[in-house]
C-alpha cells in the first residue's frame, strides 16, 4: 500500500506543556487504501553522543481506520523526564502517528518542562 499522508494537530497548535498536563488534538490521514493499523504514540527520545534511547510512554490505537479519516486524542503527560538540551545529549518529547503496513508516519515535537521551555544544561551541568 503506497501513497498517503498523516497529520497530527494539537489543540490550539500548542507544543509546550508542563508535566501532568493534558495533551489533546486530532490525527488525520488520507491513503489510497485503509491501513491495517494506525496508532498515535507519546514518546521521548534522546539524541546526541552515544546510543539513542527511545521510550513509548503511551499508545492510542485507532480502531478500523478508513482510507481518509480523523480521530481525536487525549493524553496525560507523566511527571518526567523533562525536555532538555545539553552539550552531549538532548532529550525530546514527541507525538508520532504510525500507519501499518509500510513506513508511513508523522511526528510532532513537544516540550515538557515545568517552565514550558526546554531546559538548557550549561557548562558543568548534567552529564
Strands 119-120 and 84-85: parallel
Radius of gyration for the alpha carbons in the chain, expressed in angstroms and rounded: 16
Q: Tens digit of pLDDT for each residue in 67-84?
A: 999 999 999 999 999 999
How large is the average pLDDT for residues 119-123? 86
Residue 70 and residue 6: Cα distance in Å, rounded? Answer: 9
Predicted pLDDT at 1? 40
Query: What is the reported pLDDT for 122?
Result: 81
Coil vs helix vs strand at 103: coil
14-59 residue pLDDT tens: 999 999 999 999 999 999 999 999 999 999 999 998 889 999 999 9
Would you state the pLDDT for residue 2? 53
Q: What pLDDT does residue 60 have?
A: 98
Provide the pLDDT for residue 127. 39
pLDDT at 125: 47
Q: Give the pLDDT band of residue 119 (cuts 50, 70, 90).
A: very high
Q: Could you tell me the three cell numbers for 110? A: 513537544
Please give the CATH topology (third level) of the domain spanning 4-112.
Immunoglobulin-like (2.60.40)
Is the bond into 101 cis (omega within 30 degrees of 0)? yes
Residue 51 is predicted with a pLDDT of 86
Amino acid at each position: 500500500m503506497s501513497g498517503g499522508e498523516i497529520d497530527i494537530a494539537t489543540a490550539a497548535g500548542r507544543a509546550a506543556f508542563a508535566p501532568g498536563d493534558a495533551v489533546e488534538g486530532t490525527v488525520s490521514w488520507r491513503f489510497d487504501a485503509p491501513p491495517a493499523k494506525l496508532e498515535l504514540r507519546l514518546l521521548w527520545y534522546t539524541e546526541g553522543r552515544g546510543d539513542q534511547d527511545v521510550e513509548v510512554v503511551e499508545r492510542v490505537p485507532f480502531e478500523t481506520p478508513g482510507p481518509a479519516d480523523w480521530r481525536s486524542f487525549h493524553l496525560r503527560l507523566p511527571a518526567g523526564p523533562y525536555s532538555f538540551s545539553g552539550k552531549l545529549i538532548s532529550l525530546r518529547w514527541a507525538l508520532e502517528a504510525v500507519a501499518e503496513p509500510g513506513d508511513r508516519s508523522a511526528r510532532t515535537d513537544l516540550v515538557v518542562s515545568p517552565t514550558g521551555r526546554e531546559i538548557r544544561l550549561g557548562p558543568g551541568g548534567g552529564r
